[in-house]
Structure 1
Amino acid sequence: MKLIIKTTEDSKIIEDGPQNPVRVVHTTGTIDAIREFIRSRHQNGFLNLENMAQDNILRSAQIIPPGSSTGRSDVGAVMMKVASQLFPDITTISFASNGLRSLAPISSVAQFFPNILNLSFKGNEIRNYRDLENLSGTKKLPNLREIIFLDNPLRDRDIAKHKDDISYRSEITRLFPSIQYLDQQPVGPKISFGLGDIVDAKSKTASLPVPIRGNFFDSPDTQAMVLEFLTTYFKLFDTNRTLLEHMYDISATFSVSTNITISPTQRSKGRGGDNWSEYTESARNLSRLKDLSDRTKRLHVGNQDIVKEGLMPLPETKHDLTDASKFSVDAWQTGSLLPAVCIYIMVHGEYEQAPVRGRGYTKSFDRSFIIAPAPPNSSAAQHGWKCLIISDQLTVRQYNGPEAWQPEPELDVPGAVSSAVTSAFNAAGGAPPMTNTATGTTAIAPPPAAGVGPDPNQTPMQGISPEQHVKAQELQQLTGLNYPYSVQCLAAVGWDVQGGVILVNQERANIPADAWQVPRF
C-alpha cells in the first residue's frame, strides 16, 4: 500500500473535516511549495495569481496550476485554503493569464474568501456565460465590487456580434448583481424603481408584490393640463390625425416599437399572437434593427414627417376614453431638462385596432410624451393648442388588460384624481369643437373641468373689486378661460359665476384660442 506521511498542520489543509469539500492528498513538499508560492504573491491584501504556469516555485515543485487541462482539479482549492490561513485579509485576487476556460477550477474562492471585493480574470479563455456560474450570484460573493473579463473570447465575441457592449455588460451584471465596476468601467447606478422601504436593507431584495398605487401627478396644475392634453390628443388620433401636425414641434421626434411576445393573458385564454403586419414597416425595435440607416429612417423628426410618415401609416384605432380604469397616467414637471420647463407623461392603456382580414384586435400600449408650453405666435397656439409635443414614443404590445395598475383600495391616489381622470376622459367624448376666429381653423375644445388653475399671484384688474376678482378666478378654475376673458364674461352676466359658466359652455365653439389659459409649468 502507498505510504503517506504528513504533519499535523498539513492535515488541516489536506483533510479539513466533513463540512469542507477540500479532500486533497499531496506530499508535505507540495504543501510547503504552495505556501511559499502564496507568500511570494501576496502584498497588502492583494493576491497576484497571474500566469501561474510560468512561476518558478510551482515549476520546481512540479505543481500544475488551475487552468491546465493536465493538472489536478483540486489544486485551486488547496491554494485558496492556504491563502485564507496565511492572509485572511485578502480583498483582491487576480487570476489573469492562466488559460482558464471556466471559473470551476478556482470556484473555492467563494468558500474561503466570501467577502472578496475585487476579482480579475483578464486574458483567459472563457467563452460562454455558463462557465461563470460557479461564482455567480449574490449568495456566493455578496460583497463583490469589481470584476474584470477583458481579453476573453466571451467578451470579445459578444461585442463583435452586437456591435456594442450593451448585451455583454447587461449579462455580466445579471450574473454578478453586486458589482459596481466591470472591466474598469462603472456599471451605472442601481435603479430602485421607487421601491423605497419595500426593499429589505439586509437582503437587498424587495418584498413582492409591490403595493399598487393609482395615477400620479406632481401638482394639480400638471394634472389639469395633462388630462386636457391626453383627451384631446387621443380623440384626434382616433378621428383625424392630420390635425395633430400643429401639435408637434418642428424638431419633435416620434418612434413606434412593438413587443410581439404573447402575453400571459392571451396565453391563459388559449389565444395565439396578434397580427402585426401593419406595424412591420415602421417599428423601430433597436434589438432587431442593427443597421444604422434603418434606425435613422424609422425615427421621425419634425411635425410634418411625424404625421405623414409616422402616424398616418399606423392602423386605425379607438381609445375608449369613457372608462378611465383602462388607462394609467403618471406625469410630472421635468425642471430645466430642455430650454423650456416641460411635463413628462407616461400613459399605459389599451385601444381597439381596426380589423385586419375581418378580425379586430385589442392592443395594449405604453406611450411617453414630453410636452412644453406653446409659444404665443406658434402654429400650435394659433390652432388652439396650449402645449407642444417635444418627444413622443409609442410601444405597442399584445393585449394584457389593465389589472397591473389597478390600485389597492387603501393606496388609491389622494383627493379626486381618479374621478378627475374619469371626468376628463368622459368630457372628451362630447366636447364641441373650438374655432379660432382669426384663422378659421378648428380644434377640440378643452373640457370645462380640466382648465388650468388661476394664477395665485394675479393682481386685480383696474376697476375690479376684491369680490369680483375672486369670482373671476373662480370662473377661471371652472372653465379654463384666462383672467381677462373671465372678467369680460362675468361683466356680461352681471358677475354671476354660474351664469358665466353657462355662457362659456354655450359660446365655447366661438371663443378664440387666446382666451384660454396658457399652462403655468
Structure 2
Amino acid sequence: MSYRGRGRGGDHNGNYNNNNHQGRGSLQQNIDTFVDANAYPVEIVGWNGASSTDCINFISRKCRVIVSNYTVDKNTGVLKGYVKNESQANTLLTWSGVKFAGQSLRFSKGPSTLSNQMGGANPGQNNTIEVITGFLKSRYRPDLKMLNLSNVKQDPNLNAQGFFGSLSVTSKFFPALMKIASDLKLDVVSIDLSNNELTDLQSLSYMAQTFPKLQNLSLSNNQFSKIKVFETWRHKLNFLRELILFNNPLLQNSNPAEIHAIKLELMRAFPRLVVLNGEIVRNEQILNANSTFPFEAPQAMFFQDDEIRTLSTNFIASFLNLWDTNRVNLMVLYQNESQFSMQVDSSHPFLIDENNSSSNDYGNYLSNSRNLTRVSSAKSRLEKVAVGPEAIYKLFQQLPGTKHDISTKPEVFSMECYKFPVLNGILITIHGCFEETAQPEVTESHDTRGAARGNARFHSYNRPKKVALSKKSFDRTFLVIPGPNGNMIVASDLLLVRPFSNEVPWTQIPAINPNPTTNPNSSPTPTTGINNTNGLVPQGPFSGSPALQGGALPPPPPAAAAAAAAAAAVTPTASDLPPEIKSRLQPGQQEILVKIVIETKLNLQYALLLCEQSNWNYDESIMNFKNSANSLPRDAFV
C-alpha cells in the first residue's frame, strides 16, 4: 500500500498531550499537506459494483489516467485519489458517465492543492521544506554526484524538528525528501541509504522516479529479510550498476543455494546490475553490447530530442535482444489492453541470396498476416489482432526465431522516434533486416492458397512443403507509454515483414547519366537519368509502408515532368551505366539491362531486379513486367 493510503487509513490527527511531543502534530500535518501537494486530488462515485482496486485499474486502462494513493471515505463511500496534474483531472471529467461494473462512474475534482493554499500563508509548511532542503544540500556531493542519506535519524537538525518522533511522521519523511530532491534537480548517480533501519521500500518507492538514472546504491546495515521487497523498484532502476546489501538478514540467514537464487532475482529486477556486494555478477562488456544501440549512421535516424533518443535506443536494443533470445521475458512490457499484429508485404522486388533462393517464402507468417490489402473480412481482421499478454505471446510463439545484428551491423537499421503527447508516450519505428534462425515454437496450419496469392514479383513461385529459413526485411512500430507503476509498457506493436532487398536500403546508388558527353559531377545540378530526377534509386523498404499503401501520389510539378520527359527522350547505352554496375555484369547482361530500361521505363534499380529475377532472359523479363506493371509503385518508373 502506498504511503498516502497507509497514512489516511489510520488515526493521524496528530493530537499529542505529552509535552515531549509538542509540535509534532503540526509537523505531521505539514508533511501530510506537503505530500498531498505532489498530486492533484480527484473523487470518484459510482464505483461500488466492484472493488476499489478493480475500479482504479479500469480507469487506467480505459481513460489512460493513473489514479494513485487512493482511499475510500468510510463515511461517504467516495473513492478518493490523486492524478499527476489538473490536466489529467480535467481528462477524467470528460469520462464521467463511463460504465463500470454495471454503473456509471462520476468524476470530480477534490479539494484545492497546496500550491493553491500556500502563498506564504502557512509558515510551518515553509519551515518543513526549508529544513529538508537544507538537509539535502548538506548531504550532497556534486563533485561525486553522490547523495549521502545514511543514518538520517541521527541528524541533529531533523531530530530537533521532530521528524522521527512517531512512526506515522517517519513514514512521510522519505516521500517528502524525494519530492524536494526532484525540485532541486540534483544530479545524482550514487546514493547511500545505509543504517536507516529499513524493512521495506514502500516509503522509497518514489526514489526510482526522482533518480531514474541511479547507478550505485548502498542499502547496507538495514533490516531487509525478503527478496520480494525489491518488487517496488522492479524494472524501474534500469541503470543501476552496483548494489550493496551487506549486513541485511536477507543474505546473512540464507544458504548458498538461496543466495544464488537471490542474485538471479536481483539481476532480473535490475537489468544492468553488474556488481553485487563487490562481486561481479555479469560481464559488463557483453551486457553493454546487448543493451546499447551502437549506431554510427545519424543520417538514417531521426529523434525528436536527446531524451527521446536515449529512451528509444535503449528500449529497442533491449527489446530486440530479448526478441532474439527469450521472448517470454518481453511479456512484462505488455498489459491487458496491449495489442500486437503483423502483416506480410510481398509486393516488392527482392534479392535472391546466393546461398538461399527462398527468401520470399512466407509460410511461417501468412496464417497470421493482417495485411489489409489482402484481408477484407472484418471478422478476420479482428481475429488477427492479439490483445493482452497471453494472446500476444501465443502469436510470438508462431513466428520464427530470429537474429538482428544490432551490435555488429548497426548501420543496417534505421529509426524514427517522436513524442506521442496524447498518451504521454513515444512512437518508435525501426526499419532493417533479420535472419531467421529457427522454426516457430508452435506451428499452425498455413493457408497454401494465401502463399500462392503472396507471390513475389517477376517470377512464378510454388511454396515448398517445409518452410525454409532465410533473411527478411522488416518495419516495426511501437507505441510505448508510461505504465501504472511508472515503468514503460507497449500499448501497440505493429510488425511488417517484407522481402529482403538490401541491407542498407537508405544509401544512394548513382544514376545512369543519360548524356555521355556531360559529366554529372561538373555541375551541382542533380543529374536527370534513367532512375529519377534527383539521382537517387529507391530501394523499396519504405514504399511498402502501410501508411502509403493505397494512397494516390501527387502528380509531379511541371518542371520535374518536363525534365523527366527530356531525359526519357535521350537513349542511354551500356557505356552510360555506373561503373559499379558495369563491373558486376557481363557485356551481354549490360545490353539487356539497357534494353529493359528503355522498353519498360523502369528506373535502374527495378530494372536490374527484373533482369536478375528473370535469369537475364529478355523475353521473360518483358513478360514478367507486363504481369506486374499495374501493381508496381510509381517511384519504380522514371
The alignment's TM-score, normalised by the length of structure 1, stands at 0.35
The alignment's TM-score, normalised by the length of structure 2, stands at 0.29
Name the structure, 1 or 2, with higher relative contact order (CA <8 Å, separation 6+).
1
